[in-house]
Amino acid sequence: MGMVGEFEQKIVEVDLQIVKYVDGDVVDRLSSVPGVGFVSAAMVAAELGDVSRFVDERSMCGYCGITPSVWQRGKKRWNGYITKYGSKWLRLVLVQCALAAVKCRGDSCFKQFYLRVKARRGYGIVIVVLARKMLGVMYYLLVRGELFFEEELGSKRRPKVIRARDLLVPFEEAVGLLVKAGYVNGK
């Protein structure tokens, strides 16, 4: 137990040093995403730097090297492996965050996306696609200054359709509304 205690103490010391050097607001925004912890958020923030230098999420994903390579001849287009530009450590952290998001409890939007794409594309591809999607979400959280908030997915029911028979109003009341709105002359 002595060695385990020493390692835990060193982990706490390193975490305290990380807290000194990172912007707490940025780390809070990034760690609000399911699957992204404090250390992962701090690493992503440190690797990306100032997000305002990116035009949009696509340019940020291209900077990180997590976008597919493209070959094109005439009207034909082929997508290949990811480009792997940028920091390999950032890609590693994003993939680890994607794996953690899939294993999170509950039925998050990332988990549903993972299951939907995995049925078509396979395990290896879907993790990288999910990491790219999460990076896009992180971009918008940092640009807009918001925290990640996921609505209850179970409440996504079809909206109630209002039918004409539900709007039946007595004739006198309908005429009164039309007169009040100015559509009909009340004389």
**pLDDT for the residue 151:** 66
Q: How far is residue 57's CA from residue 104's CA, in Å, rounded to a whole number?
A: 25
Q: At residue 166, does pLDDT exceed 70?
A: no
Phi, psi of 78 (to 5 degrees): -125, 135
Q: At residue 160, does pLDDT exceed 60?
A: no
**pLDDT for the residue 153:** 45
**pLDDT for the residue 136:** 92
**pLDDT for the residue 123:** 85
Closest of 83, 80, 46 to residue 63, by C-alpha: 83
- Give the model's confidence band at 165: pLDDT under 50 very low, under 70 low, under 90 confident, else very high: low
What b/e string do you get for 120-149 counting C-beta neighbours within 10 Å, with b at 16 or more? eeeeeebbbbbbbbbbbbbbebbeeeeebe
Asked if 29 contacts 142 with a C-beta cutoff of 8 angstroms, the reply is yes
Residue range 97-113, pLDDT digits in tens: 999 999 987 778 888 88
Asked if 44 contacts 36 with a C-beta cutoff of 8 angstroms, the reply is yes
Q: How far is residue 93's CA from residue 68's CA, in Å, rounded to a whole number?
A: 18
Q: At residue 164, does pLDDT exceed 70?
A: no
Q: What is the pTM of this model?
A: 0.71
Q: Where are the alpha helices (DSSP H) in 22-56?
A: 24-31, 38-48
Residue range 122-159, pLDDT digits in tens: 888 899 999 999 999 999 999 998 888 876 544 444 44
Residue range 2-27, pLDDT digits in tens: 788 888 888 888 877 877 777 888 88
Q: How far is residue 61's CA from residue 55's CA, in Å, rounded to a whole number?
A: 11
Q: How far is residue 92's CA from residue 109's CA, in Å, rounded to a whole number?
A: 22
**pLDDT for the residue 54:** 92
Q: How far is residue 101's CA from residue 24's CA, in Å, rounded to a whole number?
A: 22
Residue range 41-78, pLDDT digits in tens: 999 998 888 889 999 989 999 999 998 888 889 889 88
Q: How far is residue 105's CA from residue 141's CA, in Å, rounded to a whole number?
A: 22
- Give the model's confidence band at 161: pLDDT under 50 very low, under 70 low, under 90 confident, else very high: very low
**pLDDT for the residue 154:** 47
Q: Return all residues near 160 (Cβ < 8 A) that are at least 6 apart.
A: none
